Amino acid sequence: MSHVRTLQRWHADCALLGAVVEGEGLVRLALATPTLPPATTTNHYIVGFEAAVLVDPSAIDPRDQRKLLNLIEAFTQVGGRMVALFLTHHHNDHSGAAQVLRQATGLPVWAHPTTERLLRGRVAIDCMIADGQTVARNADGSSWLAVHTPGHAPGHLVLHHAASGQIVAGDMVAGVGTILIEPVDGDMAQYLQSLALLEALNPTSLAPAHGPVQREPIALLQHYQAHRRAREAKIAASLPAELGLPMDLLPTAYGDVSRLAWPLALLSMQSHLLHLQAQGVAVRDGDRWRRAA
């Protein structure tokens, strides 16, 4: 079968199996996961063709896992070569089916060394992936490189296809809902740096883990950075002169956000406060905060 015919058949198979062809060497299948509302699914991407990885195996329903196995089988039948299951980061809505699919397919699991450490005892990582490493290749031989983008999670990796400008973005951005930077796994300074790094790569599209592929990536990345900086400025402005609890800052710093979202806002604010502390703007005493004199 010719190269073009092969891809045509693969794309027809994708449509039959509920998957969407999003670009060169990029197929998306959204399946239900226990993720952060309003998102209800995680995108499972097949990235590459000549050498391909399945990104973020996380579907919990055995019937969805079967759909995924059918998709991988159809991919193999048209000549695609699946080489690994690839984790963008350790969170359960990205890695929850890795162990089951590793058993079912015999494929190794690839992730950043920090993700390996965080998943030890739960998911066996067979191969560590470093920043700049080639992890997949398209039918035309062009490659997808891993880029380390910590901030949402310390071992977070995206996949960059320089030839087309496509980026598989994991939880760097969201097509639906928001990206939570919480103070245990997250780091606001690193997240802002990683957003700037993605912008510098000048992508043509961002394929997030949750929601549709984003086709205006530069505007989106700039919006994300501006939004975080504006929120941080609001938090800085609401810091009291005397020590106070973060929850007391919510009405001023997050007054524009629904009260239903305040528990999550409180986590995000902790990350901003730590960032403000690092910049010498906020002072901490136990779990109480004030502005620097």
By the criterion CB under 5 A, which residues form the site for Zn ion?
A: 91, 171
Residue 90: CB minimum distance to Zn ion, A: 8
Nearer to Zn ion, 119 or 239 (CB): 119
CB of 121 to Zn ion, least distance (A): 19
Indicate the residue among 171 and 187 with the shorter CB distance to Zn ion: 171
In whole angstroms, the minimum distance from the beta carbon of 104 to Zn ion comes to 24
Closest approach, Cβ 91 to Zn ion, in A, equals 4
**Smallest distance from the beta carbon of 94 to Zn ion, in angstroms?**
6
Distances (CA, A) of 51 to 58, 80, 88, 144, 235: 21, 7, 18, 10, 46
Nearer of residues 42 and 238 to Zn ion, judged by Cβ:
42
Residue with tokens 């494929």: 107
Q: How far is the CB of 180 from Zn ion (least distance, A)?
A: 8
Q: Give exposure, 124-144, as e/b (b: 16+ Cβ within 10 Å).
A: ebeeebeeebebbbbbeebbb
Q: What angle in degrees, to the nearest 10, is found between the helix axes of 217-238 and 262-278?
A: 80
User: What's the min distance (Å) between Cβ of 198 and Zn ion?
Assistant: 16
**Using CB atoms, what's the residue nearest to Zn ion?**
91
**Among residues 22 and 171, whose Cβ is nearest to Zn ion?**
171
- 91 vs 137 by CB, closer to Zn ion: 91
Nearer to Zn ion by C-beta: 115 or 205?
115
Comparing CB distances to Zn ion, the nearer of 94 and 137 is 94
Name the residue nearer to Zn ion (CB basis): 105 or 190. 190
- Structure-token match 């055995």, residue found: 62
Q: For residue 15, what are the contacts with CB-CB under 8 A and spacing of at least 6?
A: none
Q: Least distance in Å: CB of 93 to Zn ion?
A: 6
